Structure 1
Amino acid sequence: MTNPSPAMRERYLADATATASPAKLLLMLFDRLILDLTRGEETLRAGNRPEANGHLKHAQDIITELHVTLDVDAWEGAKGLAALYTFAQTELVMANVRGDIEKVTDIRELMEPLRDTWREAAMAVAAAEG
């Protein structure tokens, strides 16, 4: 099988995003965030700052999206989560500016358990509904 064309890939991603549940969208964002952070680490290690910058800026965009869509009045822990997003965003900007691999790793390691927790919560909700 051949690889899909970029247009086909974009269409597939657009369709997947448009039909995803809010929980699935959240997980898609977190999965891509972790991927961007991992790629940022790898490209920084390889000395490719321009490519790393692209990955890290995309990760920053995702954190911004997570933050601005968070309803801080929805549950008691939301304000703490908002503070975590602010911290991660600030640290990631500084890591990108300085080319600090260790800081990028720290942010990835901070976000991975959060992603895993959201995944567990989404699976529990899906099991309860289904």
Structure 2
Amino acid sequence: MNVLTSAAAKLSAYNRDSILSASPARLLTMLYDRLLLDLTRGEAALTAEQWPTAWENLRHADQIVAELAGTLRVDLWDGAESLLQLYGYLADLIVGGMIERDPAKVREAIELAEPLRRTWHEAAALLPAASSATEADRDLGVA
């Protein structure tokens, strides 16, 4: 095993362990961070006409939106149904951007997702450090 392969394996193990040990609030913010990264990369790839790269990043972004929608607990707060509808719209923009090779649709998805990402980061920062995972789940309205 060469040095690069060893370093990549260690980084992969670190990332896996970070995800497995993260609190629900941290997982949510990590998903939003990766969503924005994938959307930004997808937009750049569409602009550069790098179709396979765009498809890979936007497909992953769409999977993240599906995960966010699937774990949203609409029974815990009144705004959850509206957020679920927004997730549906984000998914439509992402898929439309892929199919139509339209970076403007992906840009719109970025502009909608970025304030959500900031808001979830702020909400997660407000949670008491000593709260249990169950309380953090309930506070953020996720499964």
Provide the rounded CA distance (Å) in 1 between the counterparts of 2:46 and 2:81: 32
Matches within 5 A, 1:54-69: 54-69=56-71
Which residue of structure 1 aligns with residue 123 of structure 2? Answer: 121
> How much does 1:25 deviate?
0.3
**More deviation in 32-41 or 4-13?**
4-13
The residue that corresponds to 2:86 in the other structure is: 84
Matched, 1:18 2:8: no
Corresponding letter in the other structure for 1:119: H
Q: Hey, what's the Cα distance between the residues in 2 that align with 1:6 and 1:43?
A: 24
TM-score by length of 2: 0.84
Which region of structure 1 is more displaced relative to structure 2, 37-46 or 118-127?
A: 118-127
1:38 has 2:40 as partner: yes
CA distance in 2, matches of 1:112, 1:119: 11
Partner AA of 2:67 in structure 1: E
Over 3 Å counting, the alpha-carbon distance change for 1:20 and 1:127 in structure 2 is closer
Q: Which runs of 5+ in 2 are unaligned?
A: 132-143
Residues matched between the structures, number: 128
Partner SS for 2:38: helix
**Rounded Cα–Cα distance in structure 2 between residues aligned with 1:10 and 1:64:** 24
Sequence identity percentage: 45
Give the TM-score of the pair, scaled to structure 1.
Answer: 0.92
Q: Which runs of 4+ in 1 moved over 3 A?
A: 126-129
Tell me the distance in 2 between the aligned counterparts of 1:74 and 1:7.
40
Unaligned runs of 5+ in 1: none
Distance 1:119 1:128 in 2: 17
Matched to 2:109, the amino acid is I
1:52 maps to: 54
Over the residues paired in the alignment, what is the CA RMSD in angstroms?
Answer: 1.6
